[in-house]
Chain A
Amino acid sequence: EAAVTQSPRNKVTVTGGNVTLSCRQTNSHNYMYWYRQDTGHGLRLIHYSYGAGNLQIGDVPDGYKATRTTQEDFFLLLELASPSQTSLYFCASSDERDWGDEQYFGPGTRLTVL
Chain B
Amino acid sequence: GDSVTQTEGLVTLTEGLPVMLNCTYQTIYSNAFLFWYVHYLNESPWLLLRSSTDNKRTEHQGFHATLHKSSSSFHLQKSSAQLSDSALYYCALKTGGLSGKLTFGEGTQVTVIS
Q: Is the CB of B62 closer than 8 A to any CB of chain A? A: no
Chain A nearest Cβ from B109, distance in angstroms: 8
Asked whether, in the complex, the Cβ of A42 is within 8 Å of the Cβ of B44, the reply is no
Any A CB within 8 A of the CB of B25? no
A99 vs B29: C-alpha distance in the bound complex, in angstroms?
A: 14
Which secondary structure dominates where chain B touches chain A?
A: loop
Task: Name the residue among B45, B46, B50, B100 with the largest chain A CB count within 10 angstroms.
Answer: B100
Closest residue to A103 on the B side, CB-wise? B102
**CB <8 Å contact, A40 and B35:** no
Residue A48 at the chain B interface, CB threshold 8 Å: yes
Interface size, chain B (Cβ < 8 Å): 25
Contacts of A66 in B (CB 8 A): none
CB contacts (< 8 Å) of A96 on chain B: these are 98-100
* One of B35, B44, B50, B52 near A106 (C-beta < 8 A): B44
Chain A hits for B90, CB < 8 A: 42-43
CA distance A96 to B33 in the complex (A): 13
Please indicate the chain A residues that have their CB under 8 angstroms from the CB of B100 in the complex: 31, 33, 48, 50, 94, 96, 101, 103
Complex CA distance for A50 and B50, rounded to whole angstroms: 22
A42 touches B52 (CB 8 A): no
Interface residues of A, CB < 8 Å — how many? 28
**Taking A42-B106, A45-B102 as contacts, is the C-beta distance between A99 and B44 under 8 angstroms?**
no
- B42-61 with Cβ < 8 A to chain A: 43-47, 50, 52
Interface set of B (CB-CB < 8 Å, partner A):
6, 9, 33, 35, 43-47, 50, 52, 90, 92, 94, 97-107
**With A40-B9, A40-B106, A103-B100 already in contact, 9 other A-B pairs whose C-beta atoms are closer than 8 Å:** A31-B100, A42-B90, A58-B101, A59-B103, A90-B44, A96-B99, A99-B97, A103-B102, A105-B44
The 7 closest A-B pairs by CB, nearest first: A102-B47, A42-B106, A105-B44, A31-B100, A43-B104, A42-B107, A96-B100
